[in-house]
Structure 1
Amino acid sequence: MTDHRVFPSPKSPASSGSASPTFPATKGQLYGAAARSIYRPGRRHHRGCCCRLCLWTTIAIFILLLLVAAVAAVFYAIYRPHRPSFSVTSFRLGYLSTTTSGVKSKFSLAVTARNPNKKLVYLYSPIDVTVLASDITVGKGNIPAFVHGKRNSTVLKSSATSSSQPLDSETLSKMKAEIKAKAGVPLKLRLDTKVRVKAGSLKTPRIGIRVICDGIRAVIPASSNAPAIVSMSDDSCEVKTKIKIWKWTFLF
């Protein structure tokens, strides 16, 4: 006998009216949501403003340099500036001796400064005078400030002394040997100052300069009554512009 019973089909979740099951979000979905939340369209605009600011700043600096170069070219064409020149007129050694603590010395010197310019006046600040022996300071002095007129030569006189310049034992031994040597002690004269250039009613800012007079040698006699013999291989001096930036000094 055949069974004619009909079994009902299973109901689908949609037809049953019940809610669909939920599943946790994947890592990719979480990272994507985080990325979308971090994205800020305004930052691109901010970067664009910074780029434009840098560009305009660079252009402004470039234009300023061009203007400075143009002014310098016009100034040179009108005034034809030349550096001042210096030479050692006289250099005398009163005494130079060593002690247990250092060096005692006395120097008398004269330097001739020349201004070769027809239209420029130099305004010098006080000048620091330094006498060096093998790059060791053995005397210090100064020259007062002065105005150096057009096409003018001025003789600057000064004395440099050292009551007791302290030295380490090695340097002191080297200095003693040079004082006793027949060839004499090699000396160097250094002048440090600042100068302003006056052209008519215009004045430039102060510019540092360093004057180096080399080639001086002093032979010290064994007898204290005899004078020292000072010779100069070249009386001319080298003039360099001195610029100090932070802790560094540049000469050119």
Structure 2
Amino acid sequence: MTDRIYPSAKPAGANPPASTNGATNPAFPATKAQLYGASRPQYRPQPKPQRYRRSCCCSCILWTIILVIALVFLAAIAGAIFWVLYRPQRPTFSVTTLRISQFNVTRSKDGSSSRLNSKLDLAVSTRNPNKKIVFGYEPITVSASSNGVGIGSGTVPAFVHERKNTTLMKASVTSAGTELDSSSASSLSADLKKKSGLPLEIEMDTKVQVKIGSLKAKKVGIRVSCNGIQAVVPKGKGKSADYS
């Protein structure tokens, strides 16, 4: 058998490994991450900003509520003082007399149209029960109706209603040739035949001004309604007829 010669595993000229006993590690250059970390400033947490705007808004709302409550309280005190000093009461109205001097419903022969001619004379009593309050009335519009059907209107002149005074107002409510629809004409004609009389409603519209000493309030509109009135049409004064 022939002997085989194997080459050495160590290449020629290879340096032996450095000894770890007492030898220093070689220095390597710094990486990019290390350089960036060295140059970056240190993070310092910032304190949260105080919410001055929200606290200011809450304060405004609180003061507004307090102001409103104070105004309501002062108004209640002023109202109580006014009530104790003046004891205000509203005036009263009542129809004392009402007389129908004319009430005619006429229809065309073909029944296509109807007309109303009427005249009512009435007196209304109004009383001012207040000791220190005066009422000033503008001209009053008086209107009369029966079951919702208008039968005339009139006016009462303006007047001043003095303290603790009762005033009698007189007015003539008229209608001259007012056209009526068929249902309204039939309703009025039927009511004329009733023994209980013609049901009437009286309404008065005006503006009134309240005066307390030298103080004058703003004028306000009012409406006075008087219901449940039954008026009997005298014989010969009321009729339902036809016209050509």
Please indicate, yes or no, whether the TM-score normalized by the shorter chain is above 0.5: yes
Corresponding residue number in structure 2 for 1:142: 155
Q: Per the alignment, do residues 55 and 107 of structure 1 end up closer, same or farther by CA in structure 2, a change over 3 Å counting?
A: farther
- In the aligned structure 1, how far is the partner of 2:57 from the partner of 2:119? 63
Corresponding residue number in structure 2 for 1:85: 92
Q: Which residues of structure 1 form unaligned runs of 5+?
A: 5-40, 227-252
Corresponding residue number in structure 1 for 2:77: 70
Instruction: Give the TM-score normalised by structure 1.
Output: 0.64
Corresponding residue number in structure 2 for 1:120: 133
Deviation at 1:200, TM superposition (A): 1.1
Q: Look up the SS of the partner of 2:132 in the other structure.
A: coil
Instruction: Give the TM-score normalised by structure 2.
Output: 0.66
- In the aligned structure 2, how far is the partner of 1:187 from the partner of 1:225? 15
CA contact (8 A) 2:103 2:237 kept: no
**Overall identity of the aligned pairs, in %:** 46
Q: Per the alignment, do residues 175 and 225 of structure 1 end up closer, same or farther by CA in structure 2, a change over 3 Å counting?
A: closer
Q: Look up the SS of the partner of 1:96 in the other structure.
A: strand
Corresponding residue number in structure 2 for 1:95: 102
CA contact (8 A) 1:125 1:193 kept: yes
- Supply the AA of the counterpart residue of 2:160: V
Q: Per the alignment, do residues 45 and 85 of structure 1 end up closer, same or farther by CA in structure 2, a change over 3 Å counting?
A: same
Q: Residue 183 in 1 paired to residue 190 in 2?
A: no
Q: Per the alignment, do residues 46 and 88 of structure 1 end up closer, same or farther by CA in structure 2, a change over 3 Å counting?
A: same
- In the aligned structure 2, how far is the partner of 1:166 from the partner of 1:65? 54
Deviation at 1:186, TM superposition (A): 0.3
CA contact (8 A) 1:101 1:166 kept: yes
- In the aligned structure 2, how far is the partner of 1:134 from the partner of 1:122? 32
Q: Which residues of structure 2 form unaligned runs of 5+?
A: 1-5, 10-48, 107-112, 240-244
- In the aligned structure 1, how far is the partner of 2:148 from the partner of 2:55? 56
Q: Per the alignment, do residues 216 and 54 of structure 1 end up closer, same or farther by CA in structure 2, a change over 3 Å counting?
A: same
- In the aligned structure 1, how far is the partner of 2:58 from the partner of 2:187? 61
Deviation at 1:65, TM superposition (A): 3.0
- Supply the AA of the counterpart residue of 2:216: K
Corresponding residue number in structure 2 for 1:218: 231
Deviation at 1:124, TM superposition (A): 1.3
Structure number having the greater helix percentage: 1
- Worse overlay, 124-133 or 207-216: 207-216
Q: Per the alignment, do residues 178 and 49 of structure 1 end up closer, same or farther by CA in structure 2, a change over 3 Å counting?
A: farther
- Supply the AA of the counterpart residue of 1:68: A
Deviation at 1:165, TM superposition (A): 3.4
- Supply the AA of the counterpart residue of 2:228: G
- In the aligned structure 2, how far is the partner of 1:220 from the partner of 1:143? 23
After TM superposition, the structure 1 = structure 2 runs for residues 1-252 of structure 1, keeping only pairs within 5 Å, are 56-99=63-106, 100-221=113-234, 223-224=236-237
CA contact (8 A) 1:180 1:220 kept: no
- Worse overlay, 72-81 or 82-91: 82-91
- Supply the AA of the counterpart residue of 1:74: I
Q: When the two structures are aligned, how many residues end up with a matched partner?
A: 195
